[in-house]
Amino acid sequence: MNTELTGKHIGLFGGSFDPPHLGHVALVQAGLQMGLDEVWVFPALPVHRELSGMANGRTRFDWLQQIFSDQPEVRVLDWEIVQNEPTPAVATLRRFHQQFPEIVPWLMLGADAWAGLESWQEYPAHIGLCNVAVFARSGIAADIVASHQGWQRLEQQDWRDFGGTGRWCYIPVDLPDISATEIRHRTEQERSLESLVPLVICDEVEENYIPLKEKM
């Protein structure tokens, strides 16, 4: 058992990161501002969507490492990309629980992803494997955020007082309105990504996301 991690509350943030953008960075920072001890980032081969094909898993992993290289409280893990096949979240949660039973895990989800949780593979097994921090845009009332049977809601000021799993907490945040689709559209128009992508990886992302026909 890793005694350094015992009792810590750690955020688990999975996504395609195709490519990583400033919205992802803002969500990681929101998790830390919420009070999570660390945030662990998992670039994924998602089950529910297809990737663009513009950047492989190792490239997306390397970009994330560059973005968070100066933040020791943020770790980037390659658990899913080394599988070379789509990996459901429940498999990653089970592995996490097996390797780090001393940690209180908080799955970090946007309100849309939380609303669709019951469609995830092997649901409701997730209830016994994690808690969920639901990040919704400021101005959205907490009482209209979806809830699900079997999960216990905690108020924002109380979330850290509980161990175990099966709880969720609403966290209102101001996040930039950025999508990977928008980024790919801008590269098709040969427009700069500086306002959307961290500067440390901006040139590489622009190069990787040039439409394939233009590279031939």
The pLDDT of residue 136? 86
Residues paired with 179 in a beta bridge: none
Report residues of the chain scoring pLDDT below 50. 212-213, 215-216
pLDDT for 71-91, tens place per residue? 999 999 999 999 878 899 999
The pLDDT of residue 216? 37
The pLDDT of residue 184? 84
The pLDDT of residue 148? 93
Phi-psi region of 215 (alpha: psi -120 to 50; beta: other; left: phi over 0): alpha
pLDDT for 29-52, tens place per residue? 999 999 999 999 999 987 777 788
What is the spatial distance between Cα 17 and Cα 162, in angstroms, rounded to a whole number? 31
Residue type, 126: H
pLDDT for 57-66, tens place per residue? 999 999 999 9
What are the structural domains, with CATH classification, of the chain? 9-174 (3.40.50.620)
The pLDDT of residue 141? 62
The pLDDT of residue 137? 77
